[in-house]
Amino acid sequence: MVFPPGLFAEPMKMNAKNVCDVHLIWDPRFLEYDFGEGHPFTERSRAAAVRLLEATGFFSRRGIRREAKVNLPSEEILRNFHTPRHIARVRRESESPDPGLLDRGDTPAFPGVWEASARIVSATVEAVRTVSSGGALHATNLAGGLHHASPGAASGFCVFNDIGVALATGLKEGWFRKVAYIDIDAHHGDGVMYGFYEDARVLDIDFHQDGRTLFPGTGSVGEVGAGEGRGTKANIPLPPGTGDGDFISLFRRIVPPLIENYGPDLILMQCGVDAHSGDPLAHLEYTRVAYEEALGTVHRLSHDLCGGKMVLVGGGGYQASNVARILAQDAIVLSGEGVPGADAALPEPWRKEFWSTFGESAPTLWGENPPASPRPWTPEAREKIVQALSHHLRRDL
């Protein structure tokens, strides 16, 4: 694809003296969040991202801190977002000898599902608390990003909503007054969006494949919040086939002015990898370029607007090689260091481990991509969605 001149911002230049402090949380027990053989969601690909970071020496660098043990949260913490009935149902199914479904079929229960789900929630809450209190500049929970669960129900592979619980807890405890949440998962982050739909303390900007073509079927451009929250929610539905150029153009047009105008105390970003080219469950065509540009833009905004206070979580993604490389790249971008070039070789020991884990060959290069078939918009089509969003938000973009 040929990109228009001036599309990409200059990369952040940081030297060894000002590399950002990153607190990465990964507990091996996150792998217990397991829906069974054949289910598309697996934390093993997120573990592969952590192993790739290990193989590249990421954790030996200055300013990188790793936490490897996460305690379970109290039910009181979960109740900051979820209903007691939903929490009780998950616990009941978790302890059942014959657990059933937690939604209409996508999210099966399994023995220990309460503990496995709650631990991932606890990690995101801890990431937000650590950054809010000044314990770290940035924090990330690559296992998190489970944005579909609503206060009263599981949905879309998400039993509990770690983002919703973390934001609700932070607001309740006074860790921050208002927060900006950006979601670039291919699937609309409905659980977070509607969980805070009338809450002006949460600015929610969500780029996703058009809900008329993909689960959960929500997130139209006219949904901009209600009540006190009106104007603090922005949905950017993208047609199947959208690639780097169109996504980045819209992202740079929409995100900075909305966040700058809002003035958050903290930024939380969900970087689902299912928008990457080749994902089996979605139909967008991003490459590593889109993820680097989006995260880099938000990273710079965090430094400009809220002292660098930023939390990153994972999200969707159902092709293991994409998930592992993009989430590892995300952590590197968050640190302020330059990412490996597209033609840089992936470590051979990691590639062998990938084969033994997934039974498929790992990519050879950081920038290796499956064949893409982008169907880029015209400039007129991009402008149409910006104007529609401007109309519903009642402000120019």
Residue 386: which of 376, 397, 375 has the closest Cα?
Answer: 397
Sheet holding 138-141, edge to edge: 64-67, 22-25, 138-141, 310-313, 266-270, 179-183, 202-209, 233-238
Residue 295: HSE in the Cβ half-sphere, 13 Å Cα cutoff: 32
**Angle ∠(146,152,156) on CA atoms, nearest 5:** 35
What's 169-209 look like in SS3?
HHHHHCCCCCEEEEECCCCCCHHHHHHCCCCCCEEEEEEEE
Given 138, 148, 187, 188, the catalytic residue: 148
Distance set, CA 140 to CA 3, 73, 76, 150, 271 (Å): 30, 18, 23, 22, 11
Q: Is 391 a catalytic residue?
A: no
Helices (H) and strands (E) in the chain, counts: 11, 8
Catalytic residues: 148
